[in-house]
Chains A and B, each alone.
Chain A
Amino acid sequence: MRAKLTTRLQALGALAGSLVLAGAIVTTFGVSRLYAAQAGAQSAASGSQENYLTPVELKFSHDGTKLYVVCEDDDSLLAVDVTTRRVVAKVKVGHKPKDVAVSPDGRTLYVSNEWDDTVSEIDAASFTSRRTFVTGWGPVGVTTDRTGKVLYVANSIGNDVSLLDLTSGAEIKRLASWRSPHNLSLSLDGRRVYVANLLGHLGSPNEPPVSELMVIDTAKQRVAERIEIPGVLELRHIAEAPGPKGGYLLVPFIRPKNLNPLIQVAGGWILTHGMAVVRVAGTNGASLTKSFVTQILLDDVDQYFAGTNGVAFTPDGRHALVTSSEADTVSAVDTAKLERRLHQVPAEELANRLDSAREIVERRLETGANPTGIVISPDGRFAYIVNRLSDSLTVVDVPRLQVRGTIDLGGPKQLTQLRRGEQMFHAARFCFQGQFACATCHPDNHIDGVAWNLETPQLGRDRVANRTLRGIAETAPYKWNGHNPDLETQCGPRIAKFLFHSEGFNHTQLADLVAFIKSIPLPPNGHLAANGELTPAQERGRAIFFRKNCDTCHTPATHYTAKTSFDVGTATKYDTSGLFDVPQLDRIVQRPPYLHSGEANSLEELWTTYNPEDKHGVTSDMSKEELNDLIEFLKSL
């Protein structure tokens, strides 16, 4: 399976290379149609998922005539003419592009390539690639500063922000972020770059998560503030309110109730969704010396709007439009009513109130599948929403708050099993009152970084950390207790009964979903050299790994799992069994916290804090240097 996947990816890379040339000549409507025909032919020939575009983010050209759309499964950037509503140009970029920034003069575009650790520089006029910049690991969000001389890049795997000199292309510095920085936004006055993080702080699994909004001073190129947003996860976008009453930020989030026993869904028992209203110190006159955060929900009493994601203000600041990527909805928020609501209800209560949306949401509109990013035209007439799993844009008439139409971006029209499965994965409708989808707790097919108090035979016992879905096809059995022999068991009636508290997936849908989950690949590993050779430290760590018999349970031939359970002394006093499924070690460094309980915040803590009796390998006799080497080896996996 792994070999087949590698072959597929290599084939995709070859295809990408050939299409860069095609993209270079695509500048007119006619060529655009030619390009679409080529893409369609390739789609029909292979019938595979690689041909889907999967648009994920979009930005306006400064003159308001074009939309630049990033397509992560097609490794491309599209230009869409907003008048004709057609794709007019396409250029191939790096692997898994995630975001695009437009230079202040509008002539240059910068596309982050998450799986290449690069940024592609694109000439906006010719729609050709100029240069490629090296970034940190897993670049996602990008923005330039006001001068256009510095590019800020959020490195999702490196957990930092790269500042690139756009003249030389060299990295100026990296600023440490918290976990999985995701989205960047330049403030309207150009003095700050805001950084939203997907995952919360690594803290105690017994406390609610805390997420971070980082503020970078663009003049000093230093971190000005780290604003904590308590109780929330998955900050995916940032929008700054314009106008005299503006200045505040809206940051969509989810509020997990992972510490509560998950015995029901109704009443916002497991998850709620909303946005943080952030007033950043120093932005609203001298009086605001400290940043101030309030939270408001976009859910209703009987219906939830899962996956709050993209956000954009109208130019007059009267409305903010927020996408819910797992409810296939965009909500139009009346900002005057939002302000009133913020004053009417105490902040500590507002964060949990399910009756705010009926006060502040003026309209809910249906989008395509899995809406993510959203932009509003400079004249305020139209909003464009990127539908990630529909390969389309939804066009909203903003003054009327009505859907005006859909722009087809291309891509195959037939849904493959994998595509259907991915849509299931991102659909909250299978949960009671639409409260959450698989993707809600597995953002980007990965982890949410918290431990959940699932419904267990003894309530409050056996709490478990979320596990990644990346590269798990051959790592059965599943669950921390290893009780689920396959993904069909893991995702079938068990999910419907104990998590969704609703009907769940039928047989066909389950087969599609499982096929998709099995197809989720591992991301590249920046810790391993391109030629696969280990560094001296990694070699030393490898020797320790085998000398200490780690491979007895973490068997290399099976993704470093023995595919069974062992008691290695990691049970807490709240566990009813000490037996836990041996986790695979592929990309282990990318998924803290560790252990079934989520108590170990680093690999080192596994042995220095949570292995007092040497049951998890004899590690008490290891020196600091040996531990470091072992960690270096694990990072290479």
Chain B
Amino acid sequence: MSPRPDLLFVQAETILDGNAPQRFPSGSQIVRLPSESKRPLELTPEFFAAADPQVDFSGAKILFSAQKNAGAKWQIWEMNADGSEKRQITNCTGDCLRAAYLPDGEIVFTVEGLRSGRPESYLAVSKIDGSQMHRITFGPGNFWLETVLRDGRVLASASSPLQDTEAARKTRLLYTLRPDGAALEALRCEHQSSVRRGDAAELEDGSIIFVRKGSANGTSGGTLAEVRKNDPGESAVGGLAPKYRSPRPLSAGTVIVSRSSAPRGASQAKFDLYAFDLKKQMDGDLIYSDPKLSSIQAVPLIANPVPKRFWSTLNMESQAGYFISLNSYVSTEGIKGRLAAAIARVRVISLENTGTGERSLGEAPVEKDGSFYVEVPANQPVRFELLDANGQTIVAERSWIWARPGEQHGCPGCHGDKALAPENRWPLTLKRFDTPTALLEKNDAAEAAHAH
């Protein structure tokens, strides 16, 4: 058995759930536990709170988020693996946290702020020096960065459906998107409500391990779950006691987890670091325990493979993006995965940039094969409603999604089955010479037509 590598983790007296900026009311620090040692070395003494350590691809640098003083904004920092040469990367007006390295000298992170007086979080990308910071998620749903997958996609968690409502906030799903913000989709379509998924990490075989929490779990942690590579659904890992946080790969077949030592439902649980055997699906040896402080977010201090790089297909000079649906009849909301009612049109609804209300951008024809192709304002949340010939709604999508400038966002169906590849068919909508239907402005004519 190979020796345990050095570990980085976060120590804190109190860890709160939910609102990330206030998650360590008594402060926190990042420590390094050398291999063969039981005494962690403090790496961030100059901060009130520090968290979210991520090791770079060489294993020499650490990306982290930190709060200089209590009440100060969180910013992204980088330091050497021994804690030296700390360097502030971001200068966010809100809170910037939960960062991860991307290829080509970029980072992706979560930004928390207020939008129209309501808390909002989204993902942003910047150069490693903090320059060229730009937003990559554009809809409601309170996106949090989870990790960057080895295939180059960004893994995020957000509410389900992607709405800014109290009901939606109770359920969180895992989503993937490209580092340029294109190709947003749910990693898996799980419909169990009031389950919040997060604290995710990728395992060596490409599976995703994460923590599931019910709404009543409080601060005691959650259960472990996994999206196994090639499994269309998710599955539980280990027992049902909600006692885990931050599972991270440690070695082949083993993850390191933070496990609560307090009884279920206790308000002040303390977390210690344990190995967890994925094959046996049970806890392994205690790795580290502090008599007073919780230990969470442990990561091995080792070199990591560089994720694959995506060549962006966006055209940043464009004001529009595009959605093409190959067959809107293909839907998990229909009987046997297919909508029965004849679809005539699709209505595209936009969420105003102020976040205050919806408006119809207009309608587009849906062809007999279920295909449609629309042009919508880029970077603006939109959702779709399928209509029959009388203008009655057949299905209304609830999630807000977006298209990036010049993005051709393809959908095999309308909330289709992720395990069903599309048919090989020239979509009728692409045989028309008036598509994509431009829905860039409010389409009064279409609305008036249906009003009558």
Residues on A facing B (Cβ under 8 Å): 206, 208, 231, 255-261, 263-264, 266-269, 272, 297, 300-303, 349, 352-355, 357-358, 432-433, 453, 455, 459-460, 493, 496-498, 501-504, 574
Q: Are A301 and B410 in contact (CB under 8 A)?
A: no
Q: CB < 8 Å: which of A208, A256, A354, A496 contacts B419?
A: A354
Q: How far is the CA of A267 from the CA of B410 in the complex (A)?
A: 10
Interface of B is mostly: loop
5 contacts between A and B (CB under 8 A): A257-B424, A261-B427, A263-B324, A301-B232, A503-B152
Q: How far is the CA of A21 from the CA of B438 in the complex (A)?
A: 73
Minimum C-beta distance from A382 to chain B (A): 27
Q: Are B324 and A261 in contact (CB under 8 A)?
A: yes
Q: Does B308 lie at the interface of the complex (its beta carbon under 8 Å from any beta carbon of A)? A: yes
- Listed residue (A206, A258, A501) with the most chain B CB atoms within 10 angstroms of its CB: A501
11 extra interchain contacts, Cβ-Cβ under 8 A, other than A301-B230, A301-B232, A301-B419? A206-B426, A255-B421, A260-B425, A266-B183, A303-B206, A352-B423, A353-B419, A433-B151, A460-B426, A497-B311, A574-B431
- Collect the chain A residues with CB atoms within 8 Å of residue B312's CB: 497
Known: A259-B425, A267-B422, A268-B421. A301 touches B308 (CB 8 A): no
Minimum C-beta distance from A428 to chain B (A): 13
Q: CB < 8 Å: which of A206, A303, A355 contacts B229?
A: A303
Q: Are B408 and A260 in contact (CB under 8 A)?
A: no
Q: How far is the CA of A504 from the CA of B185 in the complex (A)?
A: 23
Known: A269-B412, A301-B232. A260 touches B422 (CB 8 A): yes
Q: Does B420 lie at the interface of the complex (its beta carbon under 8 Å from any beta carbon of A)? A: yes
Q: Are A269 and B310 in contact (CB under 8 A)?
A: no
Which residues in window 125-153 of B have CB below 8 A to A? 151-152
Q: Does B418 lie at the interface of the complex (its beta carbon under 8 Å from any beta carbon of A)? A: yes
Minimum C-beta distance from A151 to chain B (A): 37
Q: How far is the CA of A355 from the CA of B425 in the complex (A)?
A: 21
Interface size in chain B (residues, C-beta < 8 A): 39
Q: How far is the CA of A358 from the CA of B311 in the complex (A)?
A: 31
- Collect the chain B residues with CB atoms within 8 Å of residue A297's CB: 421
- Collect the chain A residues with CB atoms within 8 Å of residue B309's CB: 503
3 shortest interchain CB distances as A-B pairs: A460-B430, A268-B421, A300-B230
Q: Are B419 and A501 in contact (CB under 8 A)?
A: no
Q: Are B151 and A502 in contact (CB under 8 A)?
A: yes
Known: A208-B424, A259-B424. A357 touches B183 (CB 8 A): no
Q: How far is the CA of A54 from the CA of B309 in the complex (A)?
A: 33
Q: How far is the CA of A259 from the CA of B424 in the complex (A)?
A: 6
B178, closest chain A residue (CB): A501
B421, closest chain A residue (CB): A268
Q: How far is the CA of A302 from the CA of B16 in the complex (A)?
A: 35
Q: Are B422 and A269 in contact (CB under 8 A)?
A: yes
- Collect the chain A residues with CB atoms within 8 Å of residue B329's CB: none
Q: CB < 8 Å: which of A260, A455, A504 contacts B424?
A: A260
Q: Are B230 and A303 in contact (CB under 8 A)?
A: yes
Minimum C-beta distance from A532 to chain B (A): 43
Known: A208-B425, A264-B183. A269 touches B313 (CB 8 A): no
Q: Does B46 lie at the interface of the complex (its beta carbon under 8 Å from any beta carbon of A)? A: no
Q: Are A455 and B427 in contact (CB under 8 A)?
A: no
- Listed residue (A261, A269, A357, A496) with the most chain B CB atoms within 10 angstroms of its CB: A261
Contact indicator per residue, chain B 300-344, by CB within 8 Å of chain A (1) or not (0): 000000001111110000000010101000000000010000000
Q: Does B358 lie at the interface of the complex (its beta carbon under 8 Å from any beta carbon of A)? A: no
Which residues in window 405-423 of B have CB below 8 A to A? 408-410, 412, 418-423
Known: A272-B421, A352-B422. A459 touches B308 (CB 8 A): no
Q: Are B430 and A459 in contact (CB under 8 A)?
A: yes
Q: Are B408 and A455 in contact (CB under 8 A)?
A: yes
Q: Are B431 and A493 in contact (CB under 8 A)?
A: no
- Collect the chain B residues with CB atoms within 8 Å of residue A453's CB: 426, 430
Q: How far is the CA of A258 from the CA of B424 in the complex (A)?
A: 7
- Collect the chain A residues with CB atoms within 8 Å of residue B308's CB: 502-503
- Listed residue (B185, B229, B313, B421) with the most chain A CB atoms within 10 angstroms of its CB: B421
Q: Are A269 and B430 in contact (CB under 8 A)?
A: no
Q: How far is the CA of A503 from the CA of B178 in the complex (A)?
A: 12
A272, closest chain B residue (CB): B421
Known: A269-B412, A300-B230, A503-B308. A259 touches B419 (CB 8 A): no
